[in-house]
Amino acid sequence: MTVPAGTGPAAPDERFCETFDGYTLPVRVLPAGRGCRMLALHGARSNLERLDPWLRPLQARGVASLAGSLSGHGSDSPLALDATSLARNLQEALRFAARLSPGPEVVMGHSLGGALALKVAEAHAATVHTLVLGGPALYPEAAFAAPHFGPPFTAAISVPFGFRDSASLAFLRRFQGRVLLVTGEYDGLPAQAHGGQAGRSAGTVTVTVPDGASHTVYSPIPAEVLADIRAAAGARCSTIVLEGCDHRMSAHLARRPAVADRLAEQVQRIIAAAGTGPAVHGRIGASGAWRA
């Protein structure tokens, strides 16, 4: 099955399986509007269903999407994490992208899916006009060479500032489309401000919020990753901050439908601009209020 950009699937929530060498992975299309032109990629320890708080509100606003589960991460994976690799996940993502004919126009990815989205967009640079990156990871090329997830992969991503070896930064500098960077207020915290090392993630830390209470938050994305992505994309980079949110963005959106809807509103506007127009910068509060 190929999903063309000009017409939508015949049935809502169309599901099928993509077959790889010795295993299959589930794929789902959420139809809307003029057809499917967006590929969505989930993060680690997740699957396509975890993207629902992002994708369902977009579907309601006329943005169709195709999402597939990557091997090794969710309960629907036929492979264990140590039986697959980042490189294999990339090949899976590229196979999903090939379902969108003549190619995806929008690629969205959260966390690990953000790193894959950058690679997919580079492979489909002729058709992609918008990148939506939610708390994106950025990995050194050595991470894609690791034979499997586990010690080799962990060693590759643990080198301080090692992500600056990523070829995706060079791609972002020459990419002519729009980049939307969506981050949680408490993700991308400076590691050195929390007893860690610059160029690495802060991890799980305790922060004091405006009302004086202390909260434990999860911040696995290095502050410098977000800064480098913004710098590489330059004036083409729009930014949205989800107030009160850490890296667990899907859970945050699922608990706050008004926030999810406001985010979808902004994402839909940027997608509709097809890579043109001025950058957008703002914050979405816990009630869904937008502040530019």
Nearest to 127 by CA among 172, 87, 175: 175
What are phi and psi for residue 121, nearest 5 degrees? -60, -40
d(CA 259, CA 265): 10
Query: What is the reported pLDDT for 2?
Result: 59
What are phi and psi for residue 179, nearest 5 degrees? -120, 125
Please count the structural domains in the chain: 1
d(CA 96, CA 91): 9
DSSP lists the bridge partners of residue 39 as 66, 107
Task: Show the tokens assigned to 238.
Answer: 């729009």
Query: Which structural domain, as residue segments, surrounds residue 103?
Result: 3-291
Query: What is the reported pLDDT for 212?
Result: 84
Query: What is the reported pLDDT for 1?
Result: 57
Residues lower than pLDDT 50 in the chain: 4-11
CATH code for position 146 = 3.40.50.1820
- Which residues, 6 or more positions from 14, have their beta carbon under 8 angstroms from its beta carbon? 28, 29, 31
How would you label 240-277 residue by residue, b for 16+ Cβ within 10 Å and e otherwise? bbbbbbbbbbbebbbebeebbbbbbebbbebbeeebee
For residue 120, the surrounding DSSP H or E stretch is helix 112-123
Query: What is the reported pLDDT for 173?
Result: 98
Burial label, 206 (beta-carbon count in 10 A; 0-12, 13-18, 19+): exposed
